[in-house]
Amino acid sequence: MQATGTGPLTGPPPAQRAKIQAAALCYGRAVRTQEWPAIADGHGSPVPSIWSTDFRHTFRDLEGKPVFGMLIAADNKRSEEREERLTQATASIPSAILWFLLATLAITVIALGTCIPRRNNRGQLITLIVITALLTATLCIIRDVDRPFGGIINVPPTAITEAERQATRDFLANHPAAELPCYTNGNRRTI
Contact in structure between 37 and 97 (CB atoms under 8 Å): no
pLDDT for residue 17 is more than 90: no
Q: Is residue 46 in a domain? A: yes
Q: Give the residue with greater pLDDT, 178 vs 187.
A: 187
Q: Is 191 within the bounds of a domain?
A: no
Q: Are residues 18 and 37 in the same domain?
A: yes
Could you tell me if residue 3 is inside a domain? no
The answer to the question of residue 189 being in a domain is no
User: Tens of pLDDT along 114-172?
Assistant: 888 888 889 999 999 999 999 999 998 888 888 888 777 788 889 999 999 998 998 98
| pLDDT (tens digit per residue) in 105-130 | 999 999 988 888 888 889 999 999 99
Tell me the pLDDT tens digit for each residue of 39-75. Answer: 887 788 999 999 999 988 888 888 888 888 888 999 9
What confidence category does residue 2 fall into, taking pLDDT thresholds of 50, 70 and 90? Answer: very low
Q: Is residue 129 part of a domain?
A: yes
Question: Which residues are CB-neighbours of 87 under 8 A, at least 6 positions away?
Answer: none
- CB of 22 closer than 8 Å to CB of 180: yes
Is the same domain home to 49 and 81?
yes
pLDDT-derived band at 10 (thresholds 50, 70, 90) equals low
User: Is the residue at 50 inside a domain?
Assistant: yes
Nearest CA among 162, 188, 185 for reference residue 31: 185
The verdict on 60 and 140 lying in the same domain is: no
- For residue 9, pLDDT beyond 80: no
> Based on the domain organization, do 31 and 115 belong to the same domain?
no
Whether residues 36 and 100 fall in one domain: no
For residue 93, name the pLDDT band (cuts at 50, 70, 90): confident
- Domain match, 77 and 17 both: yes
Closest by alpha carbon to 35, among 180, 150, 162? Answer: 150
d(CA 163, CA 140): 33
- Residue 165 and residue 77 share a domain: yes
85 and 102 in a common domain: no
* Residue 181: inside a domain: no
Tell me what pLDDT residue 162 has.
93
Residues 6+ positions from 183 with CB-CB distance below 8 Å:
29, 189
Per-residue pLDDT at 119: 87
Give yes or no: residues 61 and 131 share one domain: no
Tell me what the mean pLDDT of segment 80-104 comes to: 88
CA-CA distance, 123 to 113, in Å (whole number)? 12
Q: Which domain holds residue 127?
A: 95-146
Whether 103 and 61 map to the same domain: the answer is no
The whole-number pLDDT of residue 48 equals: 94
Mean pLDDT score, 20-32: 93
17 lies in the same domain as 73? yes
84 with 170, same domain: the answer is: yes
Distance CA 33, CA 39 (A): 11
Please give, one letter per residue, the 3-state secondary structure of 34-76. Answer: HHHHHHCCCCCCCHHHHHHHHHHHHHHHCCCCCHHHHHHHHHH
Count structural domains, the chain.
2
